[in-house]
């Protein structure tokens, strides 16, 4: 697949990028996309929820009334879950929500996500660029020049401090290094911008 390489003014640079078909031209697999996104979101959960059960709350364990003859249900403790301030029945406990996925499944998910962006026309390739200093306005101008609206994600070959700081205050824009790109980030972004140098890094990381 070939795409024109744009400059930061949003115009063609006269060059084209050859996107490898084994990464950007595969048949998308919806199920592995679901699994990869589900795993990412599950791994973000802290799982620190906790409710006290009847054995953990303060209160006497003395039987509060005699077993029979009161005309009401029997009760053995003020910490009974049926009473106000009683313990909770089967309350949440700290746990991990994370689960494992095979490496090949995650690799196929990234390829499927990239292929979807390429087929839908939501993928653009730009020349490598940087800023002399962090400037949010300049980064926003690049996004505007490319004619993008909605959430956008820029993939770069190597970490660039000025680019990352320039995009940090923009709620709908972000910058990620190619080797750290994951399926959730690709699917969450409406527009995917890949720098010229990032194409080789993506092929190196995900084309195995």
The pair of three-digit structure tokens given for residue 89, joined into one six-digit string: 């029945």
Closest by alpha carbon to 8, among 118, 137, 135, 139?
139
Q: What is the pTM of this model?
A: 0.84
Residue 108, pLDDT score? 95
Domains of the chain from N-terminus onward: 2-45+99-206 (3.40.1370.10), 46-96 (no CATH)
Distance CA(61)–CA(4), nearest Å, equals 76
Residue 208, pLDDT score? 62
CB contact set of 118 (below 8 Å; sequence gap of 6+): 1, 19, 24, 25
Residue 88, pLDDT score? 94
Distances from the Cα of 182 to the Cα of 46, 54, 138, 175, 188, angstroms: 20, 43, 26, 12, 10
Residues of the chain with pLDDT under 50: none
Residue 175, pLDDT score? 95
Distance CA(125)–CA(17), nearest Å, equals 7
Distance CA(61)–CA(124), nearest Å, equals 68
Beta-bridge mates of residue 194: 125, 155
The pair of three-digit structure tokens given for residue 71, joined into one six-digit string: 């005309």
Residue 104, pLDDT score? 94
Residue 57, pLDDT score? 92
pLDDT in tens, 118-127: 999 999 999 9
Residue 149, pLDDT score? 87
Containing 153, the helix (H) or strand (E) segment is strand 152-156
Q: Where are the alpha helices (DSSP H) in the chain?
A: 21-24, 30-44, 103-120, 136-145, 161-167, 183-188, 196-206
């Amino acid at each position: 697949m070939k795409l024109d390489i744009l400059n930061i003014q949003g115009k063609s640079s006269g060059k084209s990028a050859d996107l490898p078909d084994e990464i950007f031209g595969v048949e998308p697999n919806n199920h592995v996309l679901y699994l990869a996104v589900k795993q990412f979101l599950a791994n973000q959960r802290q799982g620190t929820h906790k409710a006290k059960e009847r054995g953990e709350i303060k209160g006497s364990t003395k039987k509060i009334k005699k077993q029979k003859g009161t005309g009401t249900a029997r009760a053995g403790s003020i910490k009974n879950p049926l009473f106000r301030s009683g313990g909770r029945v089967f309350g949440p406990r700290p746990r991990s929500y994370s689960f494992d996925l095979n490496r090949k499944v995650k690799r196929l998910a990234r390829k499927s996500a990239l292929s979807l962006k390429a087929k839908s026309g939501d993928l653009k390739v730009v020349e490598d660029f940087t800023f002399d200093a962090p400037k949010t306005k300049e980064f926003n101008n690049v996004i505007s020049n490319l004619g993008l609206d909605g959430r956008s994600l820029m993939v770069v070959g190597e970490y660039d401090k000025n680019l990352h700081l320039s995009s940090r205050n923009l709620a709908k824009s972000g910058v990620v290094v190619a080797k750290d790109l994951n399926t959730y980030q690709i699917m969450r972004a409406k527009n995917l911008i890949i720098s010229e140098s990032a194409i080789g890094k993506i092929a190196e990381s995900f084309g195995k």
